[in-house]
Structure 1
């Protein structure tokens, strides 16, 4: 178990951990296809998520050349539109950029600001550079630096993405803390030697009984309190 005094830099996952990605996508689908009931919206969200997951997996396996999230999100939006019978180009365009307009969780802004007074804080995301720029402006999230997997031409949990954070941190991996609501992301960070903190979020990927993360917290506030205790 790490102690707060062991940490020099804190690295946050963004999508799902600091912003409500599933809720934001669901709201965007509901706006694009207002006649859909909640069950239909959930089905369309699944279409979106499965396309993104499949294409990122293909890129990781080398069966598709790297494409940034802006490209893959547009493909996902077109698939949703096809399934829903949506033909309005403006509505499809707005849906394709939904990832730029995701709401932060209630404790995200204050928690990040509080930690930023003590640690350098990095955002590390699969989201493209252009998406991160607009998402950070929309949400008000303020990082000392925001890093995109686009810079590594890879998607988490590829080691190259975590190396981006380690290179930016400029300190040993064991002094860098990765914070995420996704256990699979934290396992990727562990594989390159980073410390890990799981923060529970709706729609996240909870730890298994075999996971050994340094912190497990029910909220970001709880993690901030633990890291600020000394």
Structure 2
């Protein structure tokens, strides 16, 4: 298996999205039920993204969907200060020694820039689904990475904590690596991914063996 570049999901895979939103809500509304508001927020965003993919709603960037969920601009912006998982920064640095790293997120360009800076994420290139005017798992979003690298899809490895995301990547021929996270979408018995890793350190070790 030849891997020319790694393509990473960001929200949930590299940063703890619910924790970032929860912290923002607690700062803005100390007496609110933060866990319930997080559930409603993420549920609204997921529903509206799916409606856009299915053509039931015109495209709107993630900033708009967040404002709809948060109901205030200040809270929506604050909710994108996502803490990275403990292995994220070191894991990206290790992997960057051997592969080009590409971020591929449903977050808008503006949100992606802010989120990357806050979490200290290392990229060679970060792509937003906004460029495809759609959302993952729409094929058009994964094709952004193929177009960028000018390489065969099977030489790209999609890394995500969401099985639905990896299935979307498989639909355009990308290799897949599932990384377990507490808030991810775990694989089913029917899923067949190329790698299964406990974290980015584990993934780096598995890829190192592949290069031997």
Q: Quick one: distance in 2 between partners of 1:169 and 1:211?
A: 26
Could you say what secondary structure the match of 2:159 adopts? strand
- CA deviation profile, 1:111-132 (whole Å, cap 9, x unmatched): 1111111111100000000011
8 Å contact from structure 1 (residues 30, 41) kept in 2: yes
C-alpha RMSD of matched pairs (Å): 1.1
Pick aligned residue for 1:55 from 28, 48, 73: 48
Could you say what secondary structure the match of 2:203 adopts? helix
Choose 1 or 2 for highest CA Rg.
1
Answer with 16-25 or 151-160: which moved more.
Answer: 16-25
8 Å contact from structure 1 (residues 99, 131) kept in 2: no
Give the corresponding residue for 1:86.
none
Determine whether 1:165 maps to 2:145. Answer: yes
Q: CA deviation at 1:99?
A: 4.2
Aligned 1:75-114 pairs, distance under 5 A? 75-78=68-71, 92-114=72-94
Give the corresponding residue for 1:81.
none
Determine whether 1:178 maps to 2:178. Answer: no
Determine whether 1:46 maps to 2:39. Answer: yes
Aligned 1:12-161 pairs, distance under 5 A? 12-36=8-32, 40-78=33-71, 92-161=72-141
Could you say what secondary structure the match of 2:19 adopts? helix
Q: CA deviation at 1:170?
A: 1.4
8 Å contact from structure 2 (residues 62, 106) kept in 1: yes
TM-score (ref. length: structure 1): 0.88
- CA deviation profile, 1:85-144 (whole Å, cap 9, x unmatched): xxxxxxx33311134310111111111111111111100000000011111111111100
TM-score (ref. length: structure 2): 0.96
Across the two proteins, how many residue pairs are aligned to each other? 210
- Unaligned runs of at least 5 residues, structure 1: 79-91
